[in-house]
Amino acid sequence: MTSRYRISEAPQRLNSPLPRRRTVVKAAAATVVLAGPIAAAFPAGAATDAPAFLHGVASGDPLPDGILLWTRVTPTPEAAPGSGLGPDTEVSWVVARDKALTRIVAKGSTTARAASDHTVKADIRGLEPATDYWFRFSAGATHSPVAHTRTAPAADAAVSGLRFGVVSCANWEAGYFSAYRHLAARGDLDAWLHLGDYIYEYKSGEYAARGKVVRPHAPTHEILTLADYRIRHATYKTDPDLQALHLKTPVIAIWDDHEFADNAWSGGAVNHTEGAEGTWKARQAAAKQAYFEWMPVRPAIAGTTYRRLRFGKLADLSLLDLRSFRSQQVATGSGSVDDPDRTITGRAQLDWLKAGLKASSTKWRLVGNSVMISPFAVGELSADLFKPLAKLLGLPQEGIAFNTDQWDGYTDDRRELLHHLRSNGIRNTVFLTGDIHMSWANDVPVNAGTYPLSASAATEFVITSVTSDNLDDIVKFPEGTVSAIASPIIRAANRHVHWVDTDRHGYGVLDVTDDRVQMDYYVLSDRTDAGATARWERSYRTRSGTQKVERAYAPV
């Protein structure tokens, strides 16, 4: 059979066609941390026209008939990420049904250019559903590693089960990405979900592991320009555990704030000073361009990350962008959180989400959601624990009980969405969430104040951070001690919360069958140890038709 494919063009440049000399010099200087792998790829005396694949290969956004492939080629030593330098280089790819690449089903080529930071995307179509494939990129005589990927089931297929890795909040400076290594070792994942904060924007030392930099960011300053964002993405893509996971399994990713700047909204961010750090419009455009260059993600509606994927009759996955359209966060306690003119989704995205949930014909409706939708109130914590908890969640330390960066700060959008689920009898909606560096298993109540006497409209599984500081790291207590104190108090004040772990780093594995969705929570032994082990901690599930969470006593 002859396979069809089409090339996904690189996103249009959002700055001037050619970089200024000063920008090129600054970017070249900032790549000093990347000089080691580049030098190793181009040893002294070697031909300088032999390219290298230093940042791995990846695939993403699986469809029943296609997959998006990604890589970055370094054609010559001076063509460092963000430099704007280096020659145009032809890059080809092959896709095959076997790892030896003898049963080729698709092939093609494109030109990697400095204008797209020598990144390459190939949107392959004409593939078979629910099928394993292997692929490789080549530039001249140089080949990338052979990678594995998998297409989604056909839309009308009866699927017995799905399994996804789930991660969020991976801060390079705060530790090693062992969570990715453990997910790569499983070999049983259909895909892995990254729920935001794939990179962090801070300058070196500003946000590390209990204040200690495990490994320094490049560039060392806070990232502001297109060159800066490209270099930061490139740094993360050199991590061997991240490369290993991308090599094994397709990713489905959304962005949150740190792909831009802390607590980003449509017109700015807490961690952006207008004027002194340029304009927000230019910074946001640079961050988005670098993201789509460096991630195996298809630019979706309005050039953002909200889109929908389907996995047979079993589940569809609505992926949200909760940064591009949201109103500015308000001061907690101002009363503005209930203002119907304020939004976290934007009108068009909320209508799209509601329509998709209502029209869905799958058994389960999964929602990739970067910030927690379940209401959260703080109980009677002691001052020494409440202040760091307030810092972590973005609460005022005086004690007002909600976080306006989450859906708690945009209650009209949440009320409209939950009412839509209830009034239309939409069942089996499961929110999958990152952001707050803790693990939670929640019902999503229509009215938290009267729960459990009132109804639950959905359920939510929140996954902790891969490395970013959580509560015990902020107070610098031994792991587990803070959670033992805080968790019962949080649950007493939030009766829809079945479990919360405030202290540990790790990842999740989501298992979907016809009768239930289960999240297995795994924790790492030590995020600062490159060889960290992982162990199962807990499991929670929601059974079909219940809209409630219950504990499961074994991982899948």
CATH number at residue 25: 2.60.40.380
Contacting residues for 404 by C-beta, under 8 A, at least 6 apart = 329, 330, 331, 332, 337, 394
Separation of first and last alpha carbons in the chain: 38
How far does Cα 531 stand from its chain's mean position?
A: 23
Radius of gyration of the chain (CA): 23
Predicted local distance difference test score (pLDDT) of residue 333: 61
CB–CB of 392/325 below 8 Å?
no
Write down how long the chain is: 556
At 432 the three-state DSSP class reads strand
> Percent of the chain, pLDDT > 90?
78
Contacting residues for 144 by C-beta, under 8 A, at least 6 apart = 53, 56, 57, 71, 136, 137, 138
CATH number for the domain that contains residue 393: 3.60.21.70
CB–CB of 200/173 below 8 Å?
yes
Predicted local distance difference test score (pLDDT) of residue 119: 98
Predicted local distance difference test score (pLDDT) of residue 500: 96
Average pLDDT over residues 18-43: 46
Q: What angle do CA 495, 497, 500 make, to 5 degrees?
A: 135
Residues 121 and 208 in one domain: no
Residues 134 and 182 in one domain: no
Q: What angle do CA 480, 483, 487 make, to 5 degrees?
A: 155
Looking at the predicted structure, is the pLDDT value of residue 110 above 70?
A: yes
18 pLDDT band (50/70/90 cuts)? very low
Residue ending a domain, among 94, 126, 151, is 151
Of the candidates 36, 237, 85, 251, the one whose C-alpha atom is nearest the C-alpha of residue 229 is 237
Residues 176 and 142 in one domain: no
Predicted local distance difference test score (pLDDT) of residue 258: 98
Of the candidates 67, 79, 68, the one whose C-alpha atom is nearest the C-alpha of residue 116 is 79
476 pLDDT band (50/70/90 cuts)? confident
How far does Cα 124 stand from its chain's mean position?
A: 22
Residues 179 and 199 in one domain: yes
Structural element, H or E, at residue 179: helix 178-186
* Cα gap 65→328, rounded to integer Å: 40
* Cα gap 22→194, rounded to integer Å: 35
301 pLDDT band (50/70/90 cuts)? confident
Looking at the predicted structure, is the pLDDT value of residue 385 above 50?
A: yes
* Cα gap 455→448, rounded to integer Å: 9
Predicted local distance difference test score (pLDDT) of residue 160: 97
387 pLDDT band (50/70/90 cuts)? low
Looking at the predicted structure, is the pLDDT value of residue 384 above 90?
A: no
Contacting residues for 30 by C-beta, under 8 A, at least 6 apart = 82, 218, 219, 220, 221, 227, 228, 231
Average pLDDT over residues 510-532: 98
How far are the Cα atoms of 343, 393, 449 from residue 404, in angstroms, in the given order? 11, 9, 18
- For the ranges 164-178, 415-429, 486-500, the lowest mean pLDDT is seen at 486-500
Residues 294 and 200 in one domain: yes
Q: Which two tokens stand for residue 36?
A: 């080691």
How many domains would you assign to the chain?
A: 2
Token pair 């791995």 in the structure block, residue: 56
The one-letter amino acid at 312: G
At 89 the three-state DSSP class reads strand
Residues 191 and 53 in one domain: no
User: For residue 307, with 0-12 CB atoms within 10 Å meaning exposed, 13-18 middle and 19 or more buried, which class applies?
Assistant: buried
Residue ending a domain, among 101, 130, 151, is 151
How far are the Cα atoms of 139, 205, 246 from residue 35, in angstroms, in the given order? 21, 21, 23
Predicted local distance difference test score (pLDDT) of residue 342: 95
Predicted local distance difference test score (pLDDT) of residue 382: 62
CB–CB of 302/365 below 8 Å?
no
User: For residue 95, with 0-12 CB atoms within 10 Å meaning exposed, 13-18 middle and 19 or more buried, which class applies?
Assistant: buried
Mean confidence (pLDDT) of the chain: 89
402 pLDDT band (50/70/90 cuts)? low
CB–CB of 62/95 below 8 Å?
no
Residues 468 and 339 in one domain: yes
Contacting residues for 266 by C-beta, under 8 A, at least 6 apart = 323, 324, 325, 326, 327, 328, 346
3-state helix/strand/coil string of 244-255: HHHHHCCEEECC
Average pLDDT over residues 215-228: 98
Residues 125 and 185 in one domain: no
Residues 132 and 209 in one domain: no
Residues 385 and 352 in one domain: yes
- For the ranges 178-192, 322-336, 376-390, the lowest mean pLDDT is seen at 376-390
CB–CB of 512/430 below 8 Å?
no
pTM score: 0.90
Looking at the predicted structure, is the pLDDT value of residue 19 above 70?
A: no
Furthest-apart CA pair in the chain: how many Å? Answer: 75
Residues 109 and 160 in one domain: no
Handedness of CA 59, 61, 63, 66 (dihedral sign): negative
Residues 183 and 83 in one domain: no
Predicted local distance difference test score (pLDDT) of residue 474: 82
Domain interval for residue 144? 1-151
Residue ending a domain, among 151, 176, 211, is 151
